[in-house]
Amino acid sequence: MEVRIISDPMKADTRRREIKTSSKREVTKISEIYVCLAAIMLIGIMLLGGIYTNICAKNVQSQYRLEDLREEKAKLEKERLSLRLEVNKLSSLERIEKIAEKELGMAHPANRYILDMRNHSVLQASLTDIAAADSGLDGSRE
Amino acid sequence: MFRENRKISSEETERHRGKSANETAADAFGWKKKVRKRIKGVCLFMLIFIFVPLMAKLAWMQSVEHEKYVKYAKGQHNGNNTIPAIRGAITDRKYVVLANSISLPTVQANPSIVKDKERASLLLSQILECPQDIIRAKLSIPGTFTYIQRKVSDDKAEKIKKLKDAGELYGVDVVPEPTGKRFYPKGNLGAHIIGITGLDDQGLDGIEAVMDPYLAGKPGSIRSEISRDNVTIPGGISAITPAEPGKNIVLTIDESVQYIVENSLRKAVKAYGAESGSVLVMDAKTGEILALANMPDYKSTDPKSKEYMMLTRNKCVTDAYEPGSTFKVVLAAAALDSGKVNINDQIPCGDIVMVDGWDLHNANDGFGGNATETITDIIAYSFNTGSVHIGLRMGLKIYYGYIKAFGFGDVTGIELPGETEGILPAMEDIKKIDLATMSYGQSISVTPLQIVSAVQGTINNGEQMRPTIIRQILDQDGNIIKDFKPEIKSRPINSETSFLMNKIMRNVIENGTGKHAKIPGYLAGGKSGTANICENGVYQKGMYNASFVGYAPAEDPKFVMIVKIEKPKGTIWGGSVAGPIFSEIGREILWALGIPPSFPNEINKMAGEQQEKTN
């Protein structure tokens, strides 16, 4: 290591000041870098924090949505059952009979007549016609 | 300053007492030492007796009782929300719903935190349509929990929730119930079959009780963190146990047939001024119950009333009665099948027969007999004396064997609660007179179901099917879990005997006591019965069971039906009371099932005659 002895006190003082200034400059430079790094990190952390918060918020939001949907599903299922019950109530034979008799003025038939289709010639003929028409339709489809 | 003055004055005092300053300083030091010592003592005392136990307790809580307090803590911030399990539905054979459940919320309260009980009770009484006094009383009980009203409608629950959100009704909650509320969309239809459920939706009677293990679901739960207002915190769900809904039960009954039966029976019980009536319709081929009704029914009766318990009895399976002449079907089948009597045999049939010193005679129903009759006529005109001769000719051992083979004295195994096996005395206890009376259906008690089942076996080529009322068990998606196939229970008679019995029973309706049971346009068979009612061991004068058991169409039977009218007023004969009901119900059932008549001209002729009369 080379050691230079400066005999002039003025020079020595200037030199000391220079060294001091340059070291000060270096320190400032380094600290600026650190500040920059810190700022970048801070921004990064803030960004990450923001993203994380956003994800969390969305997660909570979707959880709320899920809860709502679950409730909605239960509600709809209940509604389905209620409607099924209502349909069954409305289609009860007792109710239908009551409406038929009281509102529509219908009555149970006192006399019932039977038309025996097996021995009815006119009906037999029309049934044959229908059967023939049906087979014709089938043929045209082919 | 004050201290200095005190010091000076004490020094002066000491000086006055003749002590030196050094001595005084030494005394003061000693006093301080004492005070320090005392403070130390107090601290030590506190440390030993207060802090050490506290620390020990803390250590105990943290180590030994750790789980317990964790549980407490979780209990405070974790909540269990119930997922209601819906009870399965009950449907008829065409999947028409007869009973189903819907989950409804319950209103409950913590009376200790309800602030303005007067206002709360007023608001709740208005919404729940319940007297304010009752709600006030509920809110006034000491404690932290009370039900205000269980299973309220959604509209009412919503109104209460709105009031709660507006800051009213603090301490009142609307919560889901673990079970639903049962609804019967067809009202009273099939009441004795379906039964009832309790407040917790548990089966208490009928199919509801018997099939409860299948019908009842298992409530689930959501374990999650909850807020102060008992609201689930999203994302805080820790465990979900899904609810298991109950299974659906498909019955063998047909809604239309059941409706026809109930309507006709209700009218008949009223018309005859009878105490009660029962009708049971069974599929002649499979043994499936198509309809079962008892009148009066009970669903419209107050459950707290005295007659309620009596009306809940499903008399078709729970009440045994002396069947009277309907039991002659079993006698004739046994006699013909055993070969002890041939179809053309002439059997003594006088007005009176004496057995063991007892005079047994024919019923005074207007049908006079000859000295001898064939088995066909004995059954057609229901001669008791002829039946006694047939019974005695067969002997106890053979007759008893057939009675057992037809299933009397045993339960049929139908899936309905409270079925009785009837009363069939042990063979060794039966004397000659008992055998004689059993030949025409006395000294033995049976249920209407047993009689129907025996007739079904008689006309179904001798194959007696196991009576059943359940067809299928389905899951909530409609998949079949269990299918109840018709199963042959026994073969008490052979097919030749069955053929002969069909002829004999047809003759009852064509020429005998069952003329009133004729179904116009159709061939039907059957047997009437009139039995004196025995109460407290004594036959009651003027009290009879009038019954008719029959089937149609006779060429290819579709159903077997029993009509039993208890204590009719006026006419008492089975053929005259139960016969017309059989005819009416039978005709409607055949029309509802779409069975074409064998003799349509007969219907047209009847209709024409009636038309003429009207004109």
**Measured between alpha carbons, how far is B501 from B499 in angstroms, rounded to an integer?**
5
Q: Which of A84, A91, A112 sits opposite B607 (nearest CB)?
A: A112
What's the DSSP call for residue B125?
H
Instruction: Give the H or E element holding residue B487.
Output: none
Instruction: Give the H or E element holding residue B226.
Output: strand B220-226
Which residues in chain B have their CB less than 8 angstroms from residue A92's CB? 185-187, 189
Interface with B, mutate which of A70, A82, A88, A95 (most B CBs under 10 A): A88
Residue tagged 């909540």 (tokens): B79
Between the two ends of chain B, the Cα-to-Cα distance in Å is: 137
**What three-state secondary structure class fits B244?**
strand
Burial class of residue B346, CB neighbours in 10 A (0-12, 13-18, 19+): middle
From B103, B276, B278, B325, active-site residue: B325
Are residues B145 and B203 in contact, defined by beta-carbon separation less than 8 angstroms? no
Contact state of A113 with B604 under an 8 Å Cβ cutoff: yes
**Measured between alpha carbons, how far is B146 from B168 in angstroms, rounded to an integer?**
18
A57 touches chain B (CB under 8 A): no
**What three-state secondary structure class fits B342?**
coil
Q: Which of B187, B255, B603 sits opposite A112 (nearest CB)?
A: B603
Which residues in chain A have their CB less than 8 angstroms from residue B96's CB? 88, 91
B286 touches chain A (CB under 8 A): no
Q: In terms of DSSP H, where are the helices of B540-573?
A: none
Query: How many CB atoms are located within 10 Å of the residue B234 CB?
Result: 18
- Is cis: bond before B303, omega within 30 of 0? no
What stretches of B394-511 adopt beta strand conformation (E)?
Answer: 464-465, 470-474, 480-483, 488-490
A78 touches chain B (CB under 8 A): yes
pLDDT of amino acid A139: 43
**Measured between alpha carbons, how far is A90 from A103 in angstroms, rounded to an integer?**
15
Between the two ends of chain A, the Cα-to-Cα distance in Å is: 113
Chain B residue with minimal CA distance to A89?
B185
**Measured between alpha carbons, how far is B412 from B424 in angstroms, rounded to an integer?**
14
The total number of residues shown for chain B amounts to 615
Burial per residue of B474-504, b for 16 or more beta-carbon CB atoms within 10 angstroms, e otherwise: beeeeeeeeebebeebbebbeeebbebbbeb
Looking at the complex, report in whole angstroms how far the Cα of residue B44 sits from the nearest Cα belonging to chain A. Answer: 52
Name residues 98-137 of chain A within 8 A of B (Cβ): 110-116
Contact state of B521 with A64 under an 8 Å Cβ cutoff: no
**What three-state secondary structure class fits B35?**
helix
A84 touches chain B (CB under 8 A): yes
**What three-state secondary structure class fits B534?**
strand
CA–CA distance from B97 to each of B179, B194, B195 (Å)? 19, 11, 14
**Measured between alpha carbons, how far is A8 from A10 in angstroms, rounded to an integer?**
5
pLDDT of amino acid B590: 93
Contact state of B597 with A112 under an 8 Å Cβ cutoff: no
pLDDT of amino acid A6: 56
Q: Which of A88, A89, A114 sits opposite B521 (nearest CB)?
A: A114
What's the DSSP call for residue B261?
H
Low-confidence ranges of chain B (pLDDT < 50): 1-4, 7-8
Residues 6+ apart with CB under 8 A from B492: B333, B337, B402, B405, B406, B454, B457, B458, B462, B464
Please choose, from the candidates B436, B265, B403, the residue with its C-alpha nearest in 3D space to the C-alpha of residue B333. Answer: B403
Please choose, from the candidates B543, B521, B492, the residue with its C-alpha nearest in 3D space to the C-alpha of residue B591. Answer: B521
Count how many Cα atoms sit within 13 Å of the Cα of residue B539 in the half-sphere of its side chain: 9
**Measured between alpha carbons, how far is B363 from B79 in angstroms, rounded to an integer?**
75
Low-confidence ranges of chain A (pLDDT < 50): 1, 138-142
Residue tagged 């007796």 (tokens): B49
A81 touches chain B (CB under 8 A): yes
Q: Catalytic annotation on B125? A: no
pLDDT of amino acid B1: 42
Count how many Cα atoms sit within 13 Å of the Cα of residue A78 in the half-sphere of its side chain: 19
3-state helix, strand, coil in chain B (%, to 5): 40, 25, 35
A93 touches chain B (CB under 8 A): yes
Looking at the complex, report in whole angstroms how far the Cα of residue B114 sits from the nearest Cα belonging to chain A. Answer: 28
Residues 6+ apart with CB under 8 A from B589: B257, B260, B261, B281, B290, B558, B559, B561
pLDDT of amino acid B15: 54
For B460, phi then psi, to 5°, come to -100, 55
pLDDT of amino acid B243: 83
Please choose, from the candidates B49, B46, B28, B50, the residue with its C-alpha nearest in 3D space to the C-alpha of residue B38. Answer: B46
pLDDT of amino acid B94: 93
The distance of Cα B183 from the centroid of its chain, to the nearest Å, equals 14
B97 touches chain A (CB under 8 A): yes
And the tokens for B463? 């194959």
Strand B90-91 versus strand B248-251 pairing type: parallel
Burial class of residue B53, CB neighbours in 10 A (0-12, 13-18, 19+): exposed
Q: How many residue pairs bridge chain A and chain B with CB atoms within 8 Å of each other?
A: 66
Which residues in chain B have their CB less than 8 angstroms from residue A66's CB? 234
